[in-house]
Amino acid sequence: MRPLESKLFRFSDNGESTLGLIFIDGRFCCFDLEDEFRIKKVMGETRIPAGRYQIKLRTEGRLHEKYKKKFTAHHIGMLELQNVPNYKYILIHPGNTDDDTGGCILPGDTCESNRVERGKLKYSTRAYIRLYSEISQAIVDGRDAFITVYDEDYFMSGFDIRGF
C-alpha cells in the first residue's frame, strides 16, 4: 500500500517564527507556523531539523486527552512525528503564534507575514481538522504516513513546485 506523503516547505524565518506551506500527496493543504531556526537548540523555542519523519498516532498525554473531548467526532490520537533528532513529542496541532508551539507544527488556513512583525496563523482549527482527518484516516487504513520538511534554502536551489 502506498504511503501518504506530506511535505512542509518553509519559506520565511524572521528569527522568532517560521512560516511554511504543507502539501499532502502533492496537493496544497494549508500554511504552517513553527518556532525559529537556532544552531543550538533551546527547549520549546527551536523548530525541528529538516528531514523525513513518519507520523503515528499518540494516544496518551495532556493534548490527547484535551482533543478527545474537544474533537469528539474524529479524534483518535495526536499526530506525532517519530524519531526527530534531539526532540520528543513533536505534534501537529492547532495554534496561532510561536507562543503556541514548543517545536510542534501548527497548521492554518491563512497566515500573516513574519517579515514586518511576528508571524500569525488564522483559522488554525479548521486547517487542523482537514489535515488531521486525511492523515489519521490513512493511518487507520493501514498506510504509513510521512512528512518531509524542507528548509528555506530548498527554494533557492532551483526547486520547481510543479515538479514535486
Cβ 52 vs Cβ 146: under 8 Å = yes
User: What pLDDT band is residue 110 in, cutting at 50, 70 and 90?
Assistant: very high
pLDDT of residue 153: 73
Distance between start and end Cα atoms, the chain: 20
Mean pLDDT value across residues 110-127: 89
Residues in Cβ contact with 42 at an 8 Å cutoff, skipping those fewer than 6 apart: none
Strand partners, 150: 9
Which is nearest to 20 in space by CA: 119, 128, 117? 119
Which residue type is seen at 28?
F
Which residue type is seen at 146?
F
Cβ 128 vs Cβ 33: under 8 Å = no
pLDDT of residue 94: 97
Judged against a pLDDT cut of 60, whether residue 163 lies above it is answered with no
pTM tops 0.85: yes
Mean pLDDT value across residues 92-114: 94
Which residue carries 481538522 as its cell? 129
Domain limits of the chain? 4-163
Mean pLDDT value across residues 9-32: 94
